[in-house]
Structure 1
Amino acid sequence: MQLDVGNSSAKWRVVQGDTLLGRGSYREEDPVSREELLACCEQPDYIWVSSVASAEQDSALSRLLQERWNVEPWFARSEAETLGLRNSYTEPERMGVDRWLAMLAARERSRGRLCVVDAGSALTIDLVSAAGEHEGGYIIPGPDLMERALLLDTDRVRFSEASDYRLDPGCSTAQAVRHGIALAQVGAVRQALAEAGSELHLVLTGGGAAWLYDQLGRCGEFIPDLVLDGLQLQGELRAA
């Protein structure tokens, strides 16, 4: 069993070799999703976790899983080097493990220069050289965080009507806010690609990546399970 735990929810999958046996999502406060998780298989051989949640949330999840299956979960961590991917951080463990695992999986798919984008609560953009060196990256608030910050700190920016995230100029406050956020998200990726300076392969993942992939003209690859794929690579290396 493998889990990718984000800031607001988690997704899980059960695999046997290369065969996917089941998948789903989990929210700590949602009893239905909790029961689905706990009923996903009879007895896993292992439980591997990628988590960017708090230590308290990790502990609560670990207790839940151990009580159900009597298997201690293994929590992946960012490393200085894994399978030829080398971390640029002076303290490698301080890099978000979701970013590290996404880069690891992307590099297994393509050995050229990479731009790995994870569109979740935050938008992260990371560059990896063809030789496997992490060249650095960007962390940008995602759409929900951008909107929350704007509404929190501006008394007169208020709206109740619905509006989609689009790139054309908005003709109401709701549209101007949502379309501005969309412009910022897409523009950040485009500018990062321009700043990179040479041709590279774009890989997108995360809850907002399907939308972002469409807005970018469907260039590169959209891989929903990139973090879980990286978790599997690091977990198998650990278990070998």
Structure 2
Amino acid sequence: MMLLLDAGNTRIKWSVTDSGAEPGAWLAEGGFEHAEAAAALPAVLAAHPGIDRVLGANVAGPAVRALLEAPLAAAGLPVEWLTVTAARAGVRNAYTVPGQLGADRWAALIGARRLHRGPCLVVCAGTATTADLLDADGLFRGGIILPGVDLMLRALAGNTAQLPLADGHFRDTPRSTVDAIVSGCLHAQAGAVERMFAQISGQPGALCLLSGGAAGRFAELLELPLRRIDNLVLIGLATLAPGAPGQA
């Protein structure tokens, strides 16, 4: 069995899968905060004693990496961290410096290629929102990064004198300050995604793959062909494991 880890800026998502299983066919999955790693990881290992391999993507920095590696090393399980290259698993990386692309975005693109062979916009909505263009031939053309929904809300609260940390709701025509703040932030997310998707909207089979913990905040606002995917980064990691269906 394999343990897959997606170490993001706020949380660590994980899944357990059988080697050679279809990516996304998890035996178990979950998540925990960075500071919970010392207790959470041993609990996962104890619940799944057959784990003999660990694959991970980390964008949370060396301190979080060390938090994850320590309990796994104590169990005799080194982590195979994903490194970003110019090409892998049918995806080609058009970044000017390929290694500067985040490992989470790289894994998500690989997962997207596994799930959809047509042109797609790969959107991951978390602490930050990313929207990456992937052509039908597997070329990652580039993408954008913008603050996630909560970051936008906190930025308004922290940098203006009279705008609160909003606990409002989306409205087409907001008539209160808290609703205006929430609606503006959600419009910003949806608008950025739709503008990126417009670059491929005329291509046959074009699709937006939407993943991430904040995806549900603005998914219903999007007016484009859409498929919601849970844990796209983990699907990409599973795709990379030798023997996985679709591995190349």
> Taking structure 1 as the reference length, what is the TM-score of the superposition?
0.89
Give the aligned partner of residue 57 of structure 1: 64
Q: Deviations over 1:172-191 (max 9, x none)?
A: 22111111101111111112
Answer with 193-202 or 137-146: which moved more: 193-202
Counterparts of 1:83-232 in structure 2, within 5 Å, are 83-158=89-164, 162-164=167-169, 166-196=170-200, 198-199=202-203, 200-216=206-222, 219-232=225-238
Q: How many residues align?
A: 237
- 8 Å CA contact retained: 2:194, 2:224: no
Q: Which runs of 5 or more residues in structure 2 are unaligned?
A: none
Percent sequence identity over aligned pairs: 33
Measure, in 2, the Cα distance between the counterparts of 1:78 and 1:121. Answer: 21
Give the structure, 1 or 2, with the largest relative contact order (CA under 8 Å, sep 6 or more): 2
Amino acid in structure 1 at the alignment position of 2:236? G
- How far residue 94 of structure 1 moved from its aligned partner, in angstroms, is 1.1
- How far residue 36 of structure 1 moved from its aligned partner, in angstroms, is 3.8
Measure, in 2, the Cα distance between the counterparts of 1:191 and 1:90. Answer: 22
Q: Deviations over 1:75-100 (max 9, x none)?
A: 11221101221101132121011111
Amino acid in structure 2 at the alignment position of 1:42? P
Q: Which runs of 5 or more residues in structure 1 are unaligned?
A: none
> Taking structure 2 as the reference length, what is the TM-score of the superposition?
0.86
- Change in Cα spacing, 1:219 to 1:167, as seen in structure 2 (3 Å) is farther
- 8 Å CA contact retained: 2:54, 2:78: yes
- How far residue 237 of structure 1 moved from its aligned partner, in angstroms, is 7.2
Measure, in 2, the Cα distance between the counterparts of 1:129 and 1:217. Answer: 20
Amino acid in structure 2 at the alignment position of 1:153? N
Give the aligned partner of residue 17 of structure 2: 15
Answer with 185-194 or 205-214: which moved more: 205-214
- How far residue 167 of structure 1 moved from its aligned partner, in angstroms, is 4.5
- Change in Cα spacing, 1:168 to 1:36, as seen in structure 2 (3 Å) is farther
Task: Indicate the SS of the match to 2:186.
Answer: helix
